[in-house]
Structure formats: structure tokens, C-alpha cells
């Protein structure tokens, strides 16, 4: 998730996707979105996929591959532009490794306590349960592709966003807190 000065979660509201829970090997109960499809494979161009907009501002992203898009049971891939000055706040993914590939632009990756400049072509590997944050330090968008080794986080992305062009539904602070708790098995924000 991204935010300005780490405040995104305080202003975010979302629309929940209908889901069912299935047991997992690590004690975390991932959600399996209703409508998950059989693996089909996909060929998607740069702007194709499930286009969504995070709530609390115009923060578009695309879920490219997951259980609903292509039917992948193990991989999740997304794509987004991080605006100049924008920060993806510090967080940890508890059940999946992540790889971020910088397609365009530049910024800073904070992995654990190590801050490293990144630019077009950079790859950031984040082992599960490792603190990560990104900040766009350039004058234009920093376009990233993100990949997860297992499902879970994409459902939080859906719950905290709407399909591109849909009006955002209002959620109370208690509802936002409930969504954060519901997904705390997959991601923890500072």
C-alpha cells in the first residue's frame, strides 16, 4: 500500500470482495476470492489487467495475475505508478516473499534498516517478514512491477480499492480497522 507520510491507512476506505476462507500450511487462513478461475495463462500488455484505484486519493494500480486473473494458485503480480514524492509506508509481508522490479523512474528502497537508491532496471527482493518501504525521489512516476510467491496480499488490495471508474464507498474508521485486522496475517504496517 502506498501513502503520504505513512498516513494512507488512516484515510483509506474500501469495498470488500466476497471471499471464502481455506486453511493453509502456515496457520494463516488466506482468502480465496469468489470467482477464482482455473489456470488459463495470460498475455497482458502494459496497461491490461484488473485496473483498480486505491481509496483515499487517486492511487491506481493493476492486478495482473492471481487466482482471479489467470487462475494462478501460487503467484501474484501487479503493476503501478508511484507518484513523485509518494511513499509506500514501512510494512512486512508475513507469508510471502516479494520481488519489486523498477520499470521506469527512480527512488529509494528501504529494506530492513538499509536505505538504497534504486532506478530503472533495479530489482528489490524482500524475503517474507522483512521490513520494506519505497519512496519515489524522482521528478516523474516510478513504475514498479511487484510479484508475490503466494496469495493473500492481493485481497487486501481489493478490499482497500475499487475498480477503476467506480465511486468509492464510505467506510467508517471501525470498518477500516476491521479490514486491517482481517489481513494482518499477510501484511503488517508500522
pTM, entire model: 0.81
Q: What is the pLDDT of residues 123-135, one digit of tens each?
A: 999 999 999 999 9
For domain 8-189, give the CATH number. Answer: 2.60.120.10
Q: What is the pLDDT of residues 46-97, one digit of tens each?
A: 999 999 998 877 789 999 999 999 999 999 999 999 999 999 999 999 999 9
- Tell me the average pLDDT of the chain: 83
The edge-to-edge listing of strands for the beta sheet with 187-189 is 114-119, 106-111, 132-136, 87-93, 187-189
Confidence of residue 12 (pLDDT cuts 50, 70, 90): very low
Q: What is the pLDDT of residues 86-122, one digit of tens each?
A: 999 999 999 999 999 999 999 999 999 999 999 999 9
Confidence of residue 34 (pLDDT cuts 50, 70, 90): low
Cβ 2 vs Cβ 85: under 8 Å: no
Any idea where the domains of the chain sit in the sequence?
A: 8-189
Which of helix, strand or coil describes residue 53? strand
How far is Cα 156 from Cα 158, in angstroms, rounded to an integer? Answer: 5
pLDDT of residue 18: 32
Enter the DSSP assignment of 66.
Answer: B
Question: To which residue does cell 514524492 refer?
Answer: 85
Is the pLDDT at 182 greater than 60, yes or no? yes
Among residues 66, 7, 26, the alpha carbon closest in space to that of 189 is found at: 7
Amino acid at each position: 500500500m502506498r501513502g503520504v507520510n505513512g498516513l494512507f491507512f488512516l484515510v483509506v476506505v474500501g469495498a470488500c470482495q466476497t471471499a471464502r476462507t481455506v486453511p493453509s500450511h502456515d496457520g494463516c487462513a488466506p482468502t480465496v476470492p469468489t470467482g477464482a478461475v482455473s489456470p488459463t495463462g495470460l498475455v497482458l500488455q502494459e496497461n491490461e489487467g484488473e485496473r483498480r484505484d486505491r481509496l483515499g486519493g487517486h492511487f491506481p494500480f493493476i492486478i495482473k495475475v492471481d487466482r482471479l486473473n489467470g487462475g494462478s494458485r501460487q503467484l501474484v503480480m501487479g503493476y503501478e505508478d508511484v507518484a513523485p514524492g509518494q511513499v509506500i509506508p514501512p510494512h512486512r509481508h508475513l507469508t510471502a516473499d516479494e520481488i519489486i522490479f523498477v520499470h521506469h523512474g527512480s527512488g529509494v528502497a528501504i529494506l530492513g534498516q538499509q536505505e538504497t537508491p534504486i532506478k530503472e532496471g533495479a530489482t528489490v527482493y524482500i524475503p517474507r517478514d522483512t521490513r520494506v518501504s519505497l519512496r519515489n525521489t524522482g521528478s516523474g512516476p516510478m513504475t514498479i512491477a511487484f510479484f508475490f510467491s503466494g496469495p493473500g496480499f492481493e485481497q487486501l488490495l481489493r478490499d482497500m480499492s475499487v475498480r477503476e471508474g467506480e465511486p468509492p464507498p464510505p467506510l467508517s474508521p471501525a470498518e477500516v480497522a476491521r479490514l486491517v485486522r482481517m489481513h494482518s496475517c499477510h501484511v503488517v504496517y508500522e
